[in-house]
Amino acid sequence: MDFEEGEILYFDKPYEWSSFDVVNRIRYAICRHLNRKKIKVGHAGTLDPLATGVMIICTGRATKRIEELQYGVKEYVATLQLGATTPSFDREHPVDATFPTAHITEALILGTLSRFKGEIWQVPPIYSAVKVDGKRAFDYARKGKDVELKPKLLVIDEIELLSFDSSVMQMTIRVVCSKGTYIRALARDIGKALDSGAYLTALRRTRIGDITVAQCLTIDQLPTLFAEDTL
């Protein structure tokens, strides 16, 4: 493979790795394999550290295609805990509020999810990389500063209830959506629409465009694939 001319690779991001961690590890492995000090490596679409799944990695001149690749439709499978919220809308931070759940039924969930299909306006999470006055929103959040984030128009092509366990008030959904959709923020908004609260306990990106998890390499496969010169 010609990493300088440009390759497009697909990886399954590990749990608790940042997208930057993945890029760094792959860049290091390629440089070591080629006995070089530097090579361009980037990704087409950030995943939160607590999420797993499809990441598209571009090398060399193929990094010019990152913006194009980012526009591929995304598919996610997400598990939501109902009846509570966290500041980051996932498990990165502890629960900061609890809400009633006795009124929540599967029928109510199904009716509520249908309202999120199509064009929706979404306010990004404060714990996100959205820029405000040149700084990332999470920089303000970590300093305890309030900042107003503007809502963005997004498209939810599909939203499907996969399971609902009323004994623990957890639900799993499948979402097919446009670039820029924050599933954490979607969880927040679903919780509000249910007259309760919600946050993510698990998130997996299962597809970007036509690329699925089944086509992805794991980080652990890097040494073997380099040795075989098939990466």
Least confident piece of the model among 3-7, 9-13, 38-42, 108-112: 3-7
> What value does the mean pLDDT take over residues 175-184?
94
Q: Active-site residue among 2, 12, 48, 220?
A: 48
Residue 149, token pair as written in the block: 């984030």
The single-letter DSSP state of residue 55 is E
Instruction: Give the tens place of pLDDT for each residue, 148-162.
Output: 678 899 999 999 999
Both structure tokens of 8 = 């497009």
Residue 208 · residue 69 · CB < 8 Å = yes
Question: Among this protein's residues, is 220 annotated catalytic?
Answer: no
**Phi, psi at residue 110, to the nearest 5°?**
-60, -45
At what angle are helices 183-193 and 106-114 packed, to 10 degrees?
Answer: 120
> pLDDT tens for residues 180-214?
899 999 999 999 999 999 999 999 999 999 999 99
Q: What is the DSSP letter of 196?
A: S
Nearest CA to 164 out of 85, 98, 83, 99 is that of 83
Distance in angstroms (rounded) separating the CA atoms of residues 217 and 55: 10
C-alpha 150/C-alpha 76 separation (Å) is: 24
